[in-house]
Amino acid sequence: MRQCFCDPFEAKTKAKANIALGGPPQWLAQVQASPNDPPIDMLIMTPDLALIAANAGLVDDFTVDKLPNLAKIPKELTDSVKGKGTLLDYGVGGITFNKSKVKNPPKSFAEFVDRVSKGEFVASVPSIAYAVTPIMLIWAMAKALGGGVNDVDPFFKAMAKMKKNLVFWGGPNDFFNHLSSGEAELGIYFDGRTWNHFDSGATWIDFINPSEGGSLNGVAIQKPKNANPLAWPYLNEMLDAKNQEKFAEILSYGVTNVDVVYSEKLKPRITPWQKTVFPPYEEIAKVRNDWVDRWNREIGR
């Protein structure tokens, strides 16, 4: 963050950028507690929390006159948080596999379910303890199998079919351990984390975006109302193509400026956002607790 965005901001403005430690729920709570004098000048949010901030009127509209680089961000990504912010980068939830053991990986969620159900593979999937599971697994698989936010029966039926051949991960390192130990051969995971493992020496790992489209898990950036106006030039640096290129190279995640040119190493790894599916975050929020309750009753892990 400092190398990619703070340094160019400081060089241009001669102002100092300080990075606050913590996470999106904490930062949002701080702004909610002091909206007239927010202790944070820009927010990095998950899209569901960004929508909470937008709906509560806690954040400013993003416009090209305030952020010239916003013109290079696809409108759909800004609209996804109601124009009160935009997306900086994104990961895709898809199928990660051990290519030394899986020579012909499933290319779709439907094929994944069919082949795991038949016992061809043991799959590692996120448990309900992982915060993004309702989006990257429940909703994404339900949608791929013909359901959606108002019908997750296809997902739970699929899980019942696969249950003898599933292990569950509670954190990203658990998933990697499942594949590296041989406890599982493949599973549902993120593209960027997959490539981080690859670059750390696990060259046996690979990733596929399912043909139905994996869920887009974006990172939103916003400016609280009444925050320091210097947040605008900082946010503009975050949307700059060259700065985003550097950011993508470090994290192996897709970024959003249309002028970004990925390196030869990164290009085949990045799933274009157009080939993903956008989770309906607000609708999911309304039924999330029901899904968790059903998971606990029917799956229990």
How, if at all, do strands 166-169 and 215-222 pair?
Answer: unpaired
Judgement on whether residues 293 and 159 belong to the same structural domain of the protein: yes
Return the beta strands (E) in 42-182 as ranges: 43-45, 86-98, 123-126, 166-169
For residue 89, which of 216, 225, 230, 279 has the smallest C-alpha distance?
216
What is the spatial distance between Cα 301 and Cα 294, in angstroms, rounded to a whole number?
Answer: 11
Judgement on whether residues 264 and 201 belong to the same structural domain of the protein: no
Judgement on whether residues 172 and 223 belong to the same structural domain of the protein: no
Q: CB within 8 A of 46, min separation 6: which ones? A: 24, 219, 220
Give the range of the structural domain holding residue 135, as residue numbers without chain letter: 92-215+279-298
Judgement on whether residues 194 and 254 belong to the same structural domain of the protein: no
Bridge partners (DSSP) of residue 218 are 90
**Chain Cα centroid distance, residue 107:** 20
3-state secondary structure of 210: coil
3-state secondary structure of 51: helix
pLDDT of residue 24: 92
Judgement on whether residues 28 and 145 belong to the same structural domain of the protein: no
Judgement on whether residues 161 and 203 belong to the same structural domain of the protein: yes
Q: Phi first, then psi: give them for residue 43, nearest 5 degrees.
A: -115, 140
Judgement on whether residues 140 and 201 belong to the same structural domain of the protein: yes
The parts of the chain modelled with pLDDT lower than 50 are none
For residue 291, which of 125, 137, 114 has the smallest C-alpha distance?
137
What is the spatial distance between Cα 134 and Cα 143, in angstroms, rounded to a whole number?
Answer: 12
Percent of the chain with pLDDT over 70: 100
Largest CA distance in the chain: 62
pLDDT of residue 99: 97
Q: CB within 8 A of 140, min separation 6: which ones? A: 93, 109, 214, 215, 277, 279
pLDDT of residue 285: 87
Bridge partners (DSSP) of residue 98 are 205
CA atoms within 13 A on the CB side of 241: 11
Task: Encode pLDDT of 224-256 as tens digits.
Answer: 999 999 999 999 999 999 999 999 999 999 999
Judgement on whether residues 154 and 231 belong to the same structural domain of the protein: no
**DSSP assigned state of 135:** I
Task: Encode pLDDT of 67-91 as tens digits.
Answer: 999 999 999 999 999 999 999 999 9
pLDDT of residue 1: 82
Query: Where do we find the tokens 């709570």?
Result: 29
Judgement on whether residues 179 and 44 belong to the same structural domain of the protein: no
pLDDT of residue 301: 72
Contact (CB, 8 A) for 188 and 172: no
Task: Say what the pTM is.
Answer: 0.89
CATH no. for residue 259? 3.40.190.10
Bridge partners (DSSP) of residue 216 are 92
Contact (CB, 8 A) for 198 and 191: no
Domain total of the chain: 2
3-state secondary structure of 154: helix
CA atoms within 13 A on the CB side of 6: 9
What is the spatial distance between Cα 173 and Cα 52, in angstroms, rounded to a whole number?
Answer: 30
Judgement on whether residues 209 and 231 belong to the same structural domain of the protein: no
Question: Tokens standing for 191?
Answer: 């593209």
Judgement on whether residues 200 and 230 belong to the same structural domain of the protein: no
Judgement on whether residues 57 and 163 belong to the same structural domain of the protein: no
What is the spatial distance between Cα 192 and Cα 253, in angstroms, rounded to a whole number?
Answer: 5
Question: Tokens standing for 97?
Answer: 């596999």
